[in-house]
Structure 1
Amino acid sequence: MDSIPANRRLWNQISSAYQHEHDPRIGATPRLWGMYSIPDAHLHALGDVTGKRVLELGCGAGQWSRALAAEGATVVGLDLSEAQLTAAARAMGAARYPLVQGAAEQLPFAADSFDLVFCDFGGLSWAPPHLAVPQAARVLGRGGRLVFNVASPWFEACYDEAASRVTTTLQRDYFGLNTIAEGDGATSYQLTYGDWVKVLRGAGLIIDDLIEPRPELGTPNGYNETDPPDWAHRWPAELLWVTHKP
């Protein structure tokens, strides 16, 4: 949990610039997943949320939470960064929902509090999965679902730090993926396919689907440069896990 203070500082520092760059894209249309803004209507990961108790892990400026609250879900947005929560409160609009400051690995909620816990990167990219996934499972009711999108390990393994882009050359060991230094002590997290399965099953969750979102040719990546530009059309850039608590 040593990464919590540093990750909080990082997101407080970059929140304004991040939202200025990305909110026009991710806030423009509801339910867009990941780096390529692929609609949930194409991926069918969340389904109908009307009347469901929903927790977003790492809600940022609340683009997802806002949309789901407007659809009739009872939403709670959780984020580590008070700057991100301020952005969410400012953008909330008519669909009001609670905002909570907290860490995905230390959820301040009772067991059986939610029907759906989800994130698009967010909490399961910025908290140790072996701590955060059991916490998500704990706050889910029976039959509740954990749905989350993270970077593919291959995307991380092919990221060239010197060139600041994803390439077709392996840059780091697949089996060496775990923590990724983000500067000034901040840390993001990445697992192999096998380790994700171990963590999810170890938390008592059933894996229903593993969606590998594939953007159409010409779809821009809003966050990273890739070489070639159609990288994610040819290899999986993201993993969208769909699980439930039996």
Structure 2
Amino acid sequence: MTAPPPRPGLPLGSDGYPAAGGVARRAAGTEESARANRRWWDAAAPAYLAEHGTDLGDVDFLWCPEGLREADAHLLGEVAGRRVLEIGCGSAPCARWLRAAEADVVALDLSGGMLARAAELNRTTGIAVPLLQADAGALPLADAGLDAVCSAFGGLPFVADVGAALREVARVLRPGGRFVASVNHPMRWPFPDSPDPADLRITSSYFDRTPYVETDDAGRAVYVEHHRTVGDWVRAVVGAGLVLEDLVEPEWTPGRTENWGQWSPERGALVPGTLILVATRP
């Protein structure tokens, strides 16, 4: 499947990422969140992949900045011959890794910019996975048709109604199907966005769910990120009709030196940065 071309981009800063006119903590609903994040990731895709593409790889499955890989963790179990959906695939290295492991995989993302790069890498790697542009809250897939759904920092932190998104996951999974997703650890929310352990000071409330919103000069949202507590994530998974089997908080991989925003070896030695939800459909 060919990804549609991205829509006109946002103005970029000197770092290549969309330049925000302002930052706010305010409500942001489903449509506003999806519209803003689609445009942001379309515009940010080149800079993001230039910064992190080497670490992500072209055919690899990295669950999180801490360096946990599916090849070592086996959180999805046996994938050969299984039908798998990846939500928030970005340039789709995880999906290509799954395809190389003989899974029947579809890679989904909201961003046409990310999917355009995924299509390029399909060609250059010779490992072609079907690409689908869609919102995680409205999966254009049949009921009970998948053996597994996965998401490696893809989509869920940016969805306003995560309960609806997880109900969609439960709908498309067959009975006994597996769901695994890595998200920002809720413990990141109260601290400054810095990799320096000296900045581990609480500057906002862990319990404040008000979204983080970047705006343009007219005050329109251009980026939205939603916060949930650990309890919120557990209730959302259970409320979707899934059975939560594990919560994984990966420790920093020894010898790994890569920094991702506030994720760093120094900070990773002190506090968790990623939460991985492991669940099944009964």
TM-score of the superposition, structure 2-length normalised? 0.80
Aligned equivalents of 1:89 and 1:183: distance in 2? 30
Q: Give the structure 1 partner of residue 44 of structure 2.
A: 14
Q: How far 1:33 moved relative to its partner?
A: 1.6
Q: Give the structure 2 partner of residue 33 of structure 1.
A: 63
Q: Give the structure 2 partner of residue 193 of structure 1.
A: 230
Q: How far 1:47 moved relative to its partner?
A: 2.1
User: Are the structure 2 counterparts of residues 165 and 190 from structure 1 closer, same or farther at C-alpha, using a change threshold of 3 Å?
Assistant: farther
Aligned equivalents of 1:68 and 1:146: distance in 2? 15
User: Are the structure 2 counterparts of residues 157 and 221 from structure 1 closer, same or farther at C-alpha, using a change threshold of 3 Å?
Assistant: farther
Please tell me whether the aligned partners of residues 248 and 276 of structure 2 are also in contact (alpha carbons under 8 angstroms).
yes
Q: Give the structure 1 partner of residue 112 of structure 2.
A: 82
Aligned equivalents of 2:106 and 2:263: distance in 1? 34
Which protein, 1 or 2, shows the higher relative CO under an 8 Å CA cutoff with sep ≥ 6?
2
Aligned equivalents of 1:218 and 1:96: distance in 2? 32
Aligned equivalents of 1:71 and 1:42: distance in 2? 13
The size of the alignment, in residue pairs, is: 243
Q: Give the structure 1 partner of residue 200 of structure 2.
A: 168
Aligned equivalents of 1:12 and 1:56: distance in 2? 18
Offset from partner CA, 1:59-116 (integer Å, 9 cap, x none):
1001100110111001100011111111001001322221010010111111112111
Q: Give the structure 2 partner of residue 108 of structure 1.
A: 140
Q: Does 1:123 align with 2:155?
A: yes
User: Are the structure 2 counterparts of residues 230 and 164 from structure 1 closer, same or farther at C-alpha, using a change threshold of 3 Å?
Assistant: closer
Q: Does 1:66 align with 2:96?
A: yes
User: Could you tell me which amino acid in structure 2 is paired with residue 154 of structure 1?
Assistant: M
Please tell me whether the aligned partners of residues 159 and 165 of structure 1 are also in contact (alpha carbons under 8 angstroms).
no
Aligned equivalents of 2:137 and 2:203: distance in 1? 29
User: Could you tell me which amino acid in structure 2 is paired with residue 232 of structure 1?
Assistant: G
Q: Does 1:24 align with 2:38?
A: no
For structure 2, which runs of at least 5 residues remain unmatched after alignment?
1-29
Please tell me whether the aligned partners of residues 247 and 275 of structure 2 are also in contact (alpha carbons under 8 angstroms).
yes
Whose Rg is larger?
A: 2
**Secondary structure of 1:38's match?**
coil
Offset from partner CA, 1:181-220 (integer Å, 9 cap, x none):
2444121222101111111110000011111000145533
Q: Give the structure 2 partner of residue 155 of structure 1.
A: 188
Q: Does 1:51 align with 2:76?
A: no
Q: How far 1:233 moved relative to its partner?
A: 1.9
Aligned equivalents of 1:179 and 1:130: distance in 2? 16
Offset from partner CA, 1:125-184 (integer Å, 9 cap, x none):
221312211111111110111100011111122124xx6867311121111135222444
Aligned equivalents of 1:78 and 1:119: distance in 2? 10
Tell me which moved more, 173-182 or 186-195.
Answer: 173-182
TM-score of the superposition, structure 1-length normalised? 0.91
Q: Give the structure 2 partner of residue 208 of structure 1.
A: 245
User: Are the structure 2 counterparts of residues 50 and 226 from structure 1 closer, same or farther at C-alpha, using a change threshold of 3 Å?
Assistant: closer
Aligned equivalents of 1:73 and 1:178: distance in 2? 38
Q: How far 1:43 moved relative to its partner?
A: 2.9
Tell me which moved more, 178-187 or 100-109.
Answer: 178-187
